[in-house]
A and B are shown apart, each in its own frame.
Chain A
């Protein structure tokens, strides 16, 4: 079991109100991703749940039990840190066994659990090595192994992949998703990378300056961003945000259209743009354009479209996919 409820949780560091007030409901077995720009309070929120920081106000409940004042270990959660935080003086075996040893488990049981975890994580051949003799990906797996053996009610990950190179990050992303499918345990995963959020999450929590901007499934956030911040943060390349005459004609302060929701033509269309940079990814081409009367826009073309720097391209937005925001930056329904 691993349902977690935050009620009016606040955290101040001296004068700085890093988390003004957060309410959040996490149901058992969910993969929840906290996403937001650097400094938005993701780590702080995670550390409050872990018990590594004391709340300034509010309550944290795990499986119906108030743990606001409980010590980290008493909360039954396991955490994987960005720096892996392995014990450098212990072998891989001892690292993974450490939480069990702290729980005073029998040695024979410990051995079995460590070996099981090592098998799942492909670490069996490395059990006698020190963390310093492992690659980044292997260290990450040891950190996950140390978390798994405790059979926690929820896993907490703080940007676990940010120290890995891009290729390995992709692999580990899949491995963690896979692990979640196998264990079906609640996972809270912090990242600043919206692609990680979109690909892994059941539920995304978008944070900005310590406030929750929106909570929802990846497709909810993609299709109906509640405000300009979420609209700009979720989706890659970013949504085009247009102000002025066009937005007013649609009854909005700001109109938003994603790069993939425009039809492109070399002959005619609503807007006329000049390609400044064309990024050819193979299947797709991202065109960065200077559009008359609007300014800079990004559009997604198919790989065959074949546009280059200096070409003229006409854009027509798919009006059914248009997002409208009022002067407070909030979504206008419909």
Chain B
């Protein structure tokens, strides 16, 4: 009896999980389907069966160059992630291994910047970027993406680092490692799984970041998010082409996510299972 009911509840939960996953995934699926429709088909009500045209992809590539924003996306997401790690590893080291009474407050304060709506600081940042000549530059956007993801990167690394026994770092110190060598030879290699998943997650976040990248770029530094947005204006709506552009924009990151999902899941649950 008991076994039967657990089997039943397992089935129920599995079904619920699938439904939730489908609901979450459905918009993406529908964009992919729509990208294979003709424009009239796309506007013409709900349908899951496209006529299967590749025309949109060809148009998108000929009208606008896909590779430039693609390259920008790659540079911005990887560049900002590496930059963020360079700052975050020492910061997280300090918080995990040399904490003070204020460490928790600093972490909360850093994270609280993520709770504020980005639009609240749009104007000052826009003016700063304009005055420093950073508008529509890759450097400018890399800095911006680094800054907005830094709190999350620090927080994640901090939780991983705290799992590492302090005695091992002390042993390194006794063995003659200075702070730099301690971080390079001991801490970082031991935290590789955590750093890898932080890196992956941050690349995904940076790739998908659509507020600042769209606000602060026009053409030169515009990544794929801006590329998608450009299809919803100014010549009117082209849903099928927009869908094709979206599909092309999310495909690389989806593939990356798919291949690294084990690492991602393990990294994200690292602290929990220990």
Contact = CB atoms under 8 A, between A and B. Distances in A.
Specify the main secondary structure of chain A where it touches its partner.
Answer: loop
A85 B189 contact: no
A52 B170 CA distance: 7
Contacts of B177: 73, 98, 102
Contact of A88 (B173, B176, B190): B190
B175 A81 contact: no
4 tightest A-B contacts by CB? Answer: A102-B176, A99-B175, A73-B176, A85-B171
A52 B189 contact: no
Interface residues on A, range: 20 to 34
B268 interface: no
A52 B174 contact: yes
B165 interface: yes
Contact of A85 (B168, B176, B181): B168
A52 B173 contact: yes
Given A88-B168, A99-B174, A102-B175, 7 more contacts: A52-B173, A73-B174, A79-B171, A102-B177, A102-B181, A103-B176, A150-B175
A98 B174 CA distance: 11
A289 interface: no
A78 B190 contact: no
A146 interface: yes
A85 B164 CA distance: 10
B139 interface: no
Given A87-B186, A89-B189, A102-B181, A81 B173 contact: no
Interface in B22-41: none
B167 interface: yes
A150 B185 CA distance: 18
Contacts of B192: 89
A98 B172 contact: yes
A236 to B, nearest CB: 30
A225 to B, nearest CB: 34
A85 B186 contact: no
A78 B174 CA distance: 6
A87 B188 CA distance: 12
A72 B174 contact: yes
Nearest to B171: A85
Nearest to A152: B174
Interface in B151-180: 165, 167-168, 170-177
A167 B67 CA distance: 68
Contacts of B170: 52, 72, 79, 81, 85
A50 B170 CA distance: 10
A98 B181 CA distance: 11
B270 to A, nearest CB: 15
Given A87-B186, A89-B189, A79 B168 contact: no
Contacts of B176: 73, 99, 102-103, 150
A286 to B, nearest CB: 37
B190 A73 contact: no
Contacts of B185: 98
A87 B185 CA distance: 9
